[in-house]
Amino acid sequence: MRLDKRVAEEFGLSRRRAQHAVRRGQVDVAGRLCLEPGREVEAETPLAYCASRPRPATTARRLCVLYEDRHILVVDKPAGVLTQPTPGRERDTLLERAGRYLTRTRGLIRPYIGIVHRIDQNTSGVVLLVCSPKALRPFQALFRAHTIERSYLAVVEGTVKPLRGTIDLPVVVNRGDGRRGAARTPADGVPAVTHYEVIEQFGDRAAQLECRLETGRTHQIRIHLAEAGHPVVGDPVYRPRACLPFPVPFPRQALHAQALGFVHPMTGQALRVEAPPPDDLTGLIATLRHRFGRQ
């Protein structure tokens, strides 16, 4: 059952109030803070609701700009920040931060910002935003044609063999339980192709991969790696529930969008923009090296 639904039922809250409580850091799952209303929790998992708990310190609201010109902003999105608001009308989103940045740096009262792709709330890394209306369609076409390089760093469970390969597995919006997943027959899904290479293996417990998207379906990397038997560390959705707990706890999926490469459709310039891994991910990798060695 979703965490927000269980909180609503157990503590007599509306579903919206329960979601708000989780996002404000007022709910513990099995003794640990959880900020994900959509996380699946078992019926026997103990919950605690602390209505008077002060809000945890939030990520600094400064926008980290990796590249900009008059047409686009390429930014480094922190984990935990939505690309744009949901129907819940969250205030602190990447879209809102970009708007404040353009107001401050370009003097625009109501700056234009177009979204051409997204990464998950709890995935960090490179996101391209369009800040000129005439650039929106050319960049949408670029992503639609899959002529853009999209490279991710992922930490996954288990020993990955072969050391490099391709996962060609169509995905569906509903795998039968209301969630996205792999198609059981190719005709049922849309094409999805992920290329991977092992960068580092940590004993037989985990591996660091570089993943390159040939297509860009929602949750594609997470679905593909879980189907291959190597779920992303910390993935609350696609990691099989029967798996034993991972030996190094990590509060989000260990996935980082590390690079975008493309030919700028407005200027013809070839660009490759990179975002360094955040501290939590480098800390996880360092811990895995220390505990299980490296290969």
- pLDDT tens digits for range 187-206: 788 999 999 999 999 999 99
Same domain, 124 and 11: no
Is the same domain home to 101 and 34? no
Residues 158 and 215 in one domain: yes
Pair (30, 150) in one structural domain: no
Is residue 76 situated within a structural domain?
yes
What is the domain count for the chain? 2
Tell whether 225 is covered by a domain. Answer: yes
Candidate from 24-28, 29-33, 42-46 with smallest mean pLDDT: 29-33
Q: Are residues 174 and 40 in the same domain?
A: no
Is the distance from CB of 65 to CB of 51 less than 8 angstroms? no
The Cα–Cα gap between 152 and 272 comes to 13
Q: Does residue 168 fall inside a structural domain? A: yes
Query: What pTM was computed for the model?
Result: 0.78
Residue 184: pLDDT over 90:
no
**Among candidate residues 236, 238, 212, 208, the one with its CA nearest the CA of residue 225:** 238
> Could you tell me if residue 54 is inside a domain?
no
Q: What CATH number did the domain enclosing 16 receive?
A: 3.10.290.10
In a domain, 58, yes or no: no
Do both 22 and 80 map to the same domain?
no
Cα 97 from Cα 112, distance rounded (Å): 13
The torsion angles phi and psi of 197, rounded to 5 degrees, stand at -145, 135
Range of the domain at 267: 65-292
Q: Give the integer Cα–Cα distance in Å for 87 and 66.
A: 29
Q: How far is CA 267 from the centre of its chain?
A: 29
Orientation of helix 15-23 relative to helix 3-11, angle to 10°: 110
pLDDT in the model for residue 41: 83
Higher local confidence (pLDDT), 254 or 39: 254
Q: Is residue 161 part of a domain?
A: yes
Whether residue 60 is contained in a domain is answered as no
In this structure, the answer to whether residues 172 and 76 fall within a common structural domain is: yes
Cβ atoms within 10 Å of 289's Cβ, excluding its own = 15
How many CB atoms within 10 Å of residue 268? 7
**272 and 177 both lie in a single domain:** yes
Torsion of CA 99, 104, 106, 112, to 10 degrees: 10
Residue 176 has pLDDT above 80, yes or no: no
Closest CA to 206 of 164, 147, 248: 248
43 plus 69 within the same structural domain: no
Answer yes or no: 120 catalytic.
yes
Please write down the long-range contacts of 88-96, taking CB distance under 8 Å and 24 or more positions apart: 88/16, 88/19, 88/20, 90/23, 92/58, 92/61, 94/63, 94/127, 94/129, 95/129
Q: Is the predicted pLDDT of residue 61 greater than 70, yes or no?
A: no
Residue 60 has pLDDT above 60, yes or no: no
Q: What pLDDT sits at residue 131?
A: 95
Give CA 175 to chain center in angstroms. Answer: 20
What is the reported pLDDT for 62? 78
Residue range 268-281, pLDDT digits in tens: 999 999 999 998 99
Looking at the structure, tell me whether residues 253 and 139 fall in a common domain.
yes
- Is 125 in the same domain as 187? yes
pLDDT digits (tens, 9 = 90+) for 231-265: 999 999 999 888 889 999 899 999 999 999 999 99
pLDDT band at 56 (very low <50, low <70, confident <90, very high): low
CATH of the domain at 201: 3.30.2350.10
Q: What is the pLDDT of residue 26?
A: 86
Q: What is the mean pLDDT of the chain?
A: 90
Structure tokens at 26: 């007022």
Phi, psi of 93 (to 5 degrees): -125, 170
Q: Establish if 197 belongs to a structural domain.
A: yes
Give me the catalytic one of 4, 28, 92, 120. Answer: 120
The DSSP H or E segment spanning 133 is helix 133-144
What is residue 294's predicted lDDT score, i.e. its pLDDT? 77
* Same domain (yes/no): 30, 73: no
Average the pLDDT over each of 8-17, 49-58, 65-74, 120-129 and give the range with the smallest value.
49-58
Q: 59 pLDDT exceeds 60?
A: no
Tens-digit pLDDT profile for residues 86-143: 887 788 899 999 999 999 998 888 999 999 999 999 999 999 999 999 999 999 999 9
Predicted confidence band of residue 213 (pLDDT cuts 50, 70, 90)? very high
| Confidence (pLDDT) at 58 | 46
Question: How open is the CA angle 24-58-71, to the nearest 5 degrees?
Answer: 115
For residues 274 and 199, what is the distance between their CA atoms, to the nearest angstrom? 17
CB 284 within 8 A of CB 155: yes
